A and B are shown apart, each in its own frame.
Chain A
């Protein structure tokens, strides 16, 4: 049975407009910094998304800014009320992704909107797409900020969808980092490059919301099947023009070509998800373009990474936390919940656990740091199952009152990280080394019960009937909340 979902950004924008979660911008906006500046401010203010109807120099194109940068918009992606709570959104995601993978449906190209316009040969010119100059000082126009790259393993049927940033270099060239531990990095550096073979790719720009969510999730299930789980039916795919790759048929723009196996050219700097420009201009992976297909009046999606909160921070935090929760539960740990703060730029994960034995916080940290997604964060904060992990005040209170400064903070010096951590030394960044830390906010279970500090809160030090009486009469006391 299909769940509620939007098969393209056009339907999604309509839904956002109905709830006041999208603004239509009819004034012409400049792709050169103006659109980026608007989207950046929107992210920092948690404003509605923006549907830009006119883009300077690019008649016939539209743009869509900050597609899923708020919890409200994420709730709408799942057909939930926009004010659904974070745990409600988590439950919906876990419900949809707990069944078997759902294979995609292949449709004929004549029914695929992304084939309405086809550019090949010299016509496949990236400069004819409204790629934004996102931040002043960026190394180029980032044509791909809300997108994913489709690539297929050389000698298996494994297909990866992943968000790998891509900078427009010239008419036929994009360039961007492909980290060696990423799924596509393993394909490229372990399979294609040693054989000196170009690797076919297809970049899906402005995909439907659930495909985008799947492509940014660290699930072990292939993203196309994972999208099917999220949709409750197979995502509709269509074959590419120049390779045997398949792409979502309802996406706005598809860029096809090959990744050159043993050539790198300069890319970056770029305003990154950490809220800084950390990685320097450097030589990175080259994508050469063979074809571009798109819908009529294609809508270029634009995400603007920087200080919180953008959709990359929100979605990576959301899905990484839930995949961690799944993994920890599979290990039999009595987890009450896992929440990664988007405001931490997915660097801090909070785990609630029933503290039934000593050192469970260490066990949790070793599991999550050693997992597939361990590179992307370096702080784990473990609290008991009574602490509201979604409440920043409660988290700070637990950190400041339950974490022993000597025995409760445990550091691993040479952790596995990324080159993008602003606090790391240049050498640590170069070799993707990141110190890791766990903040153990659990009172040791070996402490005698009589010595345990007792939390003093409305919920913990009043009898149930007194709590109910106060809650019932709250407004009659004169309080408005």
Chain B
């Protein structure tokens, strides 16, 4: 399982589960690309085994939720205007 993290602007109890939403996720694989961010359409579950990727969740000021979630990446989303 690849590991990622994301930040949410609400309490962990209000995390949207099993519905598609676009988030900024960060790649946690070691090396020069660690913490590279990308926009992606994802599904998340608090069940760490439900989806293929591991997703760690942080709150708005960086507080880490100690147990990981799982995530399915449905597609990467390019938000930048073409040519920019």
Contacts and interface: CB of A to CB of B under 8 A. Distances in A.
A127 B36 contact: yes
A280 B37 contact: no
Contacts of B7: 139, 266, 269, 281
Name, among A138, A171, A263, A269, the residue most crowded by chain B CB atoms within 10 Å (CB to CB): A269
A139 B37 CA distance: 9
Given A141-B35, A170-B37, A280-B9, A136 B84 contact: no
Contacts of B79: 263, 265
A169 interface: yes
Contacts of A138: 62
Contacts of A286: 80
A140 interface: yes
A55 to B, nearest CB: 11
B32 to A, nearest CB: 5
Contacts of B26: 140
Contacts of B37: 140, 169-170, 266
Contact of A281 (B9, B33, B36, B64): B9
Given A133-B35, A140-B37, A168-B35, A281 B60 contact: yes
A280 B60 contact: yes
Interface string B17-45: 00000001010000111111111000000
A151 to B, nearest CB: 17
Q: For the side of the interface on B, what is the size category?
A: 20 to 34
Given A141-B35, A168-B35, A265-B24, A277 B81 contact: no
Contacts of A345: none
A32 interface: yes
Nearest to B39: A265
Interface string A214-252: 000000000000000000000000000000000000000
A193 interface: no
Given A57-B31, A171-B36, A137 B84 contact: no
Given A137-B62, A263-B79, A32 B34 contact: yes
B8 to A, nearest CB: 9
Contacts of B38: 170
Contacts of B32: 57-58, 127-128
B63 interface: yes
Contacts, number: 63
Contacts of A58: 32
A278 B61 CA distance: 7
Interface string A126-146: 011000010111111100000
Interface in A259-284: 260, 263, 265-266, 269, 277-278, 280-281
Contacts of B80: 173, 260, 263, 286, 288
A260 B82 CA distance: 12
A204 interface: no
A258 interface: yes
Contacts of A278: 61
A334 interface: no
A169 B25 CA distance: 10
Contact of B64 (A137, A169, A170, A277): A137
Interface in A130-178: 133, 135-141, 168-171, 173
Contacts of B84: 198, 258, 260, 288
A140 B35 contact: yes
Contacts of A288: 80, 84
B1 to A, nearest CB: 20
Given A57-B32, A140-B35, A281-B7, A263 B60 contact: no
Nearest to B64: A137
Interface string B34-59: 11111100000000000000000010
A173 B79 CA distance: 11
17 contacts: A58-B32, A128-B32, A133-B34, A136-B62, A137-B62, A137-B63, A139-B62, A140-B35, A169-B36, A173-B80, A258-B84, A260-B81, A263-B81, A266-B7, A266-B37, A269-B62, A280-B60
Given A32-B34, A58-B32, A265-B24, 7 more contacts: A137-B58, A137-B61, A169-B37, A263-B79, A265-B39, A277-B62, A281-B60
Interface of A: 32, 57-58, 127-128, 133, 135-141, 168-171, 173, 198, 258, 260, 263, 265-266, 269, 277-278, 280-281, 286, 288
Identify the 4 closest CB pairs spanning chains A and B, nearest first: A137-B62, A280-B60, A277-B61, A281-B7
